[in-house]
Amino acid sequence: MFLVRLVYASRVSDSLSTDDVAQILEHSRSNNRSNDISGLLCFNHEYFLQCLEGSRARVNALYQRILSDTRHQDILLLSYGEITERNFGRWSMGYIPASSIIRETTMRFSGKSEFNPYEMTGDSAHALLAELARNTPTLE
């Protein structure tokens, strides 16, 4: 069973509410736990940035479902590759809220001070998520 990591960015759809995000998280955690998928979801009311880690077949199947979810749009694959170990194995889906995304951190990993994952490389997006995870006290 090959281990992979996938990182993508998307824009929230116009109809998305805070309740939708809570529902996505609740459902994701339960589904991902059953499928041994781990990762992080970052959300700032405009964009999603998500990292998924797990078996190649399961991560690919989940990504196919995520692609057809109407709660977001303009989904852009930032990186995908085989890995030797997980970075976010502690979280079935850790959540990084907008309040944790500070200017200093986005400046460090992108060309702009505002959080915009479309302006980041896959490596930078992954590094940003790792840094945010370190600095966010409660992810789950």
Is the Cβ of residue 4 or residue 24 nearer to ligand FAD in the bound state? 24
State the DSSP H helix or E strand holding residue 72, giving kind and residue range, or none if neither.
Answer: strand 72-82
Q: Does the footprint of ligand FAD cover residue 110 (CB under 6 A)?
A: no
Is the Cβ of residue 27 or residue 103 nearer to ligand FAD in the bound state? 27
Is the Cβ of residue 23 or residue 121 nearer to ligand FAD in the bound state? 23
Choice from 4, 7, 9, 28 touching ligand FAD (CB under 6 A): 28
Q: How far apart are CA 75 and CA 114, in angstroms?
A: 19
Tell the smallest beta-carbon distance from residue 35 to ligand FAD (Å). 8
Is the Cβ of residue 28 or residue 106 nearer to ligand FAD in the bound state? 28
Structure tokens at 80: 């995908």
Buried b (16+ CB within 10 A) or exposed e, 83-101: eeebbbeebbbbbbbeebb
Is the Cβ of residue 20 or residue 119 nearer to ligand FAD in the bound state? 20
Q: Does the footprint of ligand FAD cover residue 11 (CB under 6 A)?
A: no
Asked if residues 117 and 47 have their Cβ atoms less than 8 Å apart, the reply is yes
Q: How far apart are CA 132 and CA 44, in angstroms?
A: 13
Task: Map residues 57-96 to x or -, x wherever contact with ligand FAD holds by CB under 6 A.
Answer: -----x--xx--xxxx--------------------x---
Query: Across the beta sheet with 38-43, what order do the strands follow?
Result: 72-82, 3-12, 47-55, 38-43, 94-96
Give contact residues for ligand FAD (rule: CB under 6 A).
10, 23-24, 27-28, 31-32, 41, 48, 50, 62, 65-66, 69-72, 93
